[in-house]
Amino acid sequence: MTALAYRHQRVQRLRRLVARRSARDAEGVFVIEGPKLLAEALRAGVVPESVYVDPAGVGGGDGLTELLDRVFAAGGRLYELEAGVLAKVAGTVTPQPVLAVVPRVEVTVDELCQRDPTLVVVCVDVRDPGNAGTVLRSAEASGASGVICCDGSVDVFNPKTVRASAGSIFHLPVVASGSVAEVLDRLGRAGLRRVGAVARGGDPYWEVDLVAPTALVLGNEARGLPEAAAGLLDGSLTIPMAGRAESLNVGMAAAVVCFEAARQRRSAAHGGGNGPAAGHLSL
């Protein structure tokens, strides 16, 4: 297998896919980094189109050789890179020994609604890729039905978002676009109560009934939910702060509420009522 140099056309394409959302959108693919994400893709039945390997990183006991064998057996193409090329392409401080190009994994809002979702997390103008990845990870880990990233939010297939998701992007239905108005209208027509997370003024999150089908709407890290979204909500919730911090970042807020929803559903399943504390406020 001939090692590809930095200026090789395939490497230049890989660079574009890492750096540009427009390139990822045009080709319907995105880039994942490292053996863990490659393993998660294969576990989810996603076969990489192509895999680029730094030969110095193979054989380090991380199971990469076995993963590459599985990729090859599934029909994926393997390419060796010259020394140092992968580090330049990845642009990270400690690059992984492998990059892979995989097909986008996403659904439409209609497809998600047809699955009778119980908890959908909606990101409105969420700009930080790390926060978006944490939202994906928290939603998947807590058993949420899906995540929607509305127009104006960070690209859910941004390499930083994909890394922060820790593979959850392959195991959770994701909607990667849609106007706020259209998304919230569709979710409302599907029978979901649209509940916005706000820094103050909402009902305490543990008093809100999250057992019923719910769309948890999260806003911008600094500005919160825009007025256009606020006018389409059925209610709001707040995570009260005991210390001097004004609020949690959007990724942490998603984790708190998503796992509260999971707790309430477990309680309801074991005969503990609908989950929220006594005297809860229905939205």
Structure tokens at 141: 């880990």
pLDDT number for residue 248 = 78
pLDDT number for residue 276 = 59
pLDDT number for residue 282 = 35
pLDDT number for residue 280 = 41
Which pTM does this prediction carry?
0.90
pLDDT number for residue 84 = 86
Alpha-carbon span 38 to 67, nearest angstrom: 8
Contact 236, 195 (CB under 8 A): yes
Alpha-carbon span 257 to 263, nearest angstrom: 10
Contact 38, 98 (CB under 8 A): yes
pLDDT number for residue 275 = 55
Alpha-carbon span 283 to 270, nearest angstrom: 23
pLDDT number for residue 59 = 63
pLDDT number for residue 243 = 73
Show pLDDT as tens, one digit a residue, over the chain (283 residues): 568 999 999 999 999 999 999 999 999 999 999 999 999 999 999 999 999 998 876 765 668 889 999 999 999 999 999 988 988 898 776 778 899 999 998 999 999 999 999 999 999 999 999 999 999 999 999 999 999 999 999 999 999 999 999 999 999 999 999 999 999 999 999 999 999 999 889 999 999 999 999 999 999 988 889 888 888 999 999 999 887 666 678 999 999 999 999 999 999 998 865 555 543 433 3
Which amino acid does the sequence have at 38?
L
pLDDT number for residue 55 = 82
pLDDT number for residue 279 = 39
pLDDT number for residue 241 = 85
pLDDT number for residue 62 = 65
- Three-state SS for the chain is CCCECCCCHHHHHHHHHHHCHHHHHHHCEEEEEHHHHHHHHHHCCCCCCEEEECHHHCCCCCCHHHHHHHHHHCCCEEEEECCCHHHHHHCCCCCCCEEEEEECCCCCHHHHHCCCCCEEEEECCCCCHHHHHHHHHHHHHHCCCEEEECCCCCCCCCHHHHHHHCCHHHCCCEECCCCHHHHHHHHHHCCCEEEEECCCCCEEHHHECCCCCEEEEECECCCECCHHHHCCCCEEEECCCCCCCCCCCHHHHHHHHHHHHHHHHHHHHCCCCCCCCCCCECC
pLDDT number for residue 278 = 42
Which amino acid does the sequence have at 90?
A
The domains found in the chain, sorted by start residue, are 9-103 (3.30.1330.30), 109-269 (3.40.1280.10)
Contact 190, 229 (CB under 8 A): no
Beta bridge partners of 120: 146, 215
Q: Exposed, middle or buried, 93 (CB in 10 Å: 0-12/13-18/19+)? A: exposed
Which amino acid does the sequence have at 124?
V
